[in-house]
Copies of this chain bind each other. A is one copy, B any other.
Amino acid sequence: MNIGAAAKASGVSAKMIRYYEETGLIPPAGRTAAGYRVYSDQDVHMLRFIRRARDLGFSVEGIRELLGLWRDQSRQSADVKRLALAHVADLRRKIAELEDMASTLEALASACHGNDRPDCPILSELETPCKPTDSTTDRSGAINRFRRG
């Protein structure tokens, strides 16, 4: 199988297959006399594994570890689980971060009239020096025109 066929079969682009090879994520493919890379069904299997892990948000480094365990017949499933749960924690951290942004911005937007006048609490908040963050406890008082929704 040439790289194009392997790409189609695995869902990993030819570009990325070469990149993975170059960075050592996958072993160098065999070559034809003309220098074409050749792939077996096994290789495509591995590429699909990689593709699937990418879809789950694993970094290439994370996949490197997963592949190591995958190939290791004497692995312990606890190691796989640990890796997976660490990644879940990463994802949840990121989600919380984005959710903070979204809810803050949403609250600001809901306080904005959204009409033809220029005054806008969103811009007002953006130009205030300190972060109002979660101001259920009214500590500083000075810059506190912000309310959570």
Contacts and interface: CB of A to CB of B under 8 A. Distances in A.
The complex is assembled from copies of this chain, and their number is 2
A54 to B, nearest CB: 10
A73 interface: yes
B108 A84 contact: yes
Interface of A: prevailing SS? helix
Contact of A123 (B69, B74, B87, B131): B69
A84 B112 contact: yes
Contact of A143 (B9, B51, B94, B106): B9
Contact of A117 (B77, B85, B119, B131): B77
Given A115-B77, A120-B77, A122-B81, A102 B92 contact: yes
Given A53-B126, A92-B102, A77 B113 contact: yes
Contacts of A123: 66, 69-70, 80
Interface residues of A, number: 67
Given A98-B94, A127-B48, A143-B5, A105 B117 contact: no
A69 B120 CA distance: 10
Nearest to A97: B57
